[in-house]
Amino acid sequence: MSRKLSLKSVTMLLGGLVLSTGSLAQTTDANQHTSYASQGHEAQRSKALQLPSSDSAFKELFGVPVTGEKTQSTPNELSRFWFSREFNQGDEDYYAAFFVSQEIDWDSSYDDQIMTTLDRETTADIGVVTYKKVSGQWLLVSKQKKFSAAGTYGDVGNVDTTAPDLLALTPTATSILLDTIEGGHHTDYRVDKGKLMFIFSEEKWTHGGNIYIGSSLEGVKEECGYPPLETDERGLGWCYKNTGEISVLDAFQNGFPAILVTRTGTTAGQNSPVPAKNLIYTFIDGRYQ
């Protein structure tokens, strides 16, 4: 015996069907919305985060806009962008822009030509602006006008910034190493090669010292292993040449590890070249020496 559905029962059944269909539609829309949002988020993440410009970093540091290759940042200094480097420390990403400031020599300047000091013993001041990546943005964390000094003749022409090396000293201290060269003015003159070190710790930079990694004395024959024809008044004698590699030792002083320079080649001896010995630098008085 068949049962008849009342009008009320049919209405309730159809209503339930409509509600179920509506819920399904809402769920589908929600899923589509989530999918689109996810795609947008991935697209945004895949797009490289633009680095702060050197011009904006310059203005942050000196308080004046860039006006040319060199800008008069103070009444007695010309400043310019030097180099920049991205790096990480632990789980944090940083970006640092470095600047050089040169002393103005007003005695040799004329008309609109501003000249800088060219004295051999005069160094240039080094400044830096540091940013940290936070929630997908570069945020300014520190700016230091004169945290270091480097170079000769009032500039940093003896420092190569083509490929700055990074060296992790501790989990909270990272160093940038820049190639330096001293000497080499004559074929029989000694050349010293090293690394200028800047240390980043607690979101501040300090001058870490100069690590010498190699030296040479080519001699008049321009080939190591031969002495010059005669020893001159500077005491230059036998030719030699050595190079070195830097590594970090598990021995600490004042919170920083010792640095080992493993050298190969020869160095000056009393009567002939002798094998070059390794060098160890320790952290004393705020820098490696």
| Burial of residue 73 (number of CB atoms within 10 Å: 0-12, 13-18, 19+) | buried
Is 70 exceeded by the pLDDT of residue 38?
no
Residue 105 domain-assigned (yes or no): yes
- Which pLDDT score, from 0 to 100, does residue 148 have? 97
| Residues 272 and 170 placed together within one structural domain of the fold | yes
- Which pLDDT score, from 0 to 100, does residue 4 have? 38
Q: Determine the distance from the C-alpha atom of residue 198 to the mean position of all C-alpha atoms in its chain, rounded to a whole number.
A: 8
Full residue range of the structural domain in which residue 121 is found: 47-156
Q: Which residue, of 156, 173, 203, is where some domain finishes?
A: 156
- Which pLDDT score, from 0 to 100, does residue 185 have? 53
- Res. 189 pLDDT band, cuts 50 70 90: low
Q: What are phi and psi of 238, to 5 degrees?
A: -60, 145
| Residues 162 and 284 placed together within one structural domain of the fold | yes
Question: What does the alpha-carbon distance between residue 285 and residue 147 come to, in Å, rounded to a whole number?
Answer: 15
Q: What are phi and psi of 247, to 5 degrees?
A: -145, 160
Q: Which residue, of 156, 186, 211, is where some domain finishes?
A: 156
| Residues 150 and 164 placed together within one structural domain of the fold | no
Residue 36 domain-assigned (yes or no): no
Task: Choose the most confident range, by mean pLDDT, from 15-24, 27-36, 178-187, 222-231.
Answer: 178-187
- Res. 27 pLDDT band, cuts 50 70 90: very low
Are 239 and 218 in contact by the 8 Å Cβ rule? The answer is yes
Residue 39 domain-assigned (yes or no): no
- Res. 149 pLDDT band, cuts 50 70 90: very high
User: Kind and range of the H or E element at 27?
Assistant: helix 7-46
**β-bridge partners, 253:** 256
Full-model pTM: 0.77
Reported as a single tens digit per residue, the pLDDT across 211-253 is: 999 998 765 444 544 555 455 444 455 678 899 999 999 999 9
**Among the listed residues 77, 78, 61, 60, the one whose alpha carbon sits nearest the alpha carbon of residue 69:** 78
Residue 163 domain-assigned (yes or no): yes
- Res. 181 pLDDT band, cuts 50 70 90: confident
- Which pLDDT score, from 0 to 100, does residue 47 have? 52
| Residues 104 and 167 placed together within one structural domain of the fold | no
| Residues 144 and 227 placed together within one structural domain of the fold | no
Reported as a single tens digit per residue, the pLDDT across 42-78 is: 334 435 789 999 999 999 999 999 999 999 999 999 9
Split into its structural domains, the chain has a count of: 2
Length of the chain: 289
| Residues 233 and 164 placed together within one structural domain of the fold | yes
Residue that has been written with the tokens 């710790």 in this structure: 201
Is 70 exceeded by the pLDDT of residue 125?
yes
Non-local (6+) Cβ contacts of 88 within 8 A are 94
| Residues 197 and 212 placed together within one structural domain of the fold | yes
Residue 2 domain-assigned (yes or no): no
Are 259 and 247 in contact by the 8 Å Cβ rule? The answer is yes
Residue 1 domain-assigned (yes or no): no
Q: Which residue, of 156, 176, 204, is where some domain finishes?
A: 156
Secondary structure percentages of the chain, helix, strand, coil, to 5: 15, 50, 35
| Residues 123 and 165 placed together within one structural domain of the fold | no
Non-local (6+) Cβ contacts of 1 within 8 A are none
Dihedral-angle region of residue 203 (phi above 0 means left; psi in -120 to 50 means alpha; beta otherwise)? left
